Amino acid sequence: KREMLDEAENEINTALSIDRSIPLINAHFNLALLHEARGDFDLAVVEYKTEQETSPFNHMPDFNLGLLYAKAKELEKAIKEFKNCIEKNEEFADAYVFLAKASMDNAVDLNEAEKLAQKGLELKPELRTKILAHFILADIYNRLGKYQESQQHVNKARELQKTLFQ
């Protein structure tokens, strides 16, 4: 795997070295993914930020940066990146769900986190994100003392989890 990543990195860097009038879209994004795969999160952050500059309308660098910051427990930065992602693509369900999670973890307004998770569900995310949204809502409702609603979302998440393995 390491050799394949090295080879891919060399190919991308070769493509980037060619002088062109229009930036090479997704090249830095792909380098960031390579660095993530190697566990080099600092370099991944640099490449995602470069991709944000070269492809300012692409929402995915913002989203992936948000994920990296959330993993590093840099929740303010994660929240900022997820919000930037939503500004660029208001229909991207995952950004709402992960923004809800980061907001909840950062002890920001739980009612706002609830709205974000609900919005993510309304946008019909893929199954794993839908499961996460229900667990986030369960956690939020538990923190708000709404135990019945919390249990309903736990049950829904578990029901959906069963479909993952069918």
Predicted pLDDT of residue 20: 59
Distance in angstroms (rounded) separating the CA atoms of residues 155 and 28: 41
Structure tokens, 57: 């309308």
**87-112: pLDDT as tens digits:** 999 999 999 999 999 999 998 789 99
Distance in angstroms (rounded) separating the CA atoms of residues 17 and 31: 14
**120-148: pLDDT as tens digits:** 999 999 999 999 999 999 999 999 999 99
* Global pTM value: 0.86
**26-59: pLDDT as tens digits:** 888 988 998 898 899 999 999 999 999 988 999 9
Query: Could you give all domains of the chain from N- to C-terminal order, each with its CATH number?
Result: 89-166 (1.25.40.10)
- Please tell me which residue, 6 or 87, carries the higher pLDDT value: 87
Predicted pLDDT of residue 5: 62
Distance in angstroms (rounded) separating the CA atoms of residues 63 and 13: 23
Split at pLDDT 50, 70, 90, the class of 166 is confident
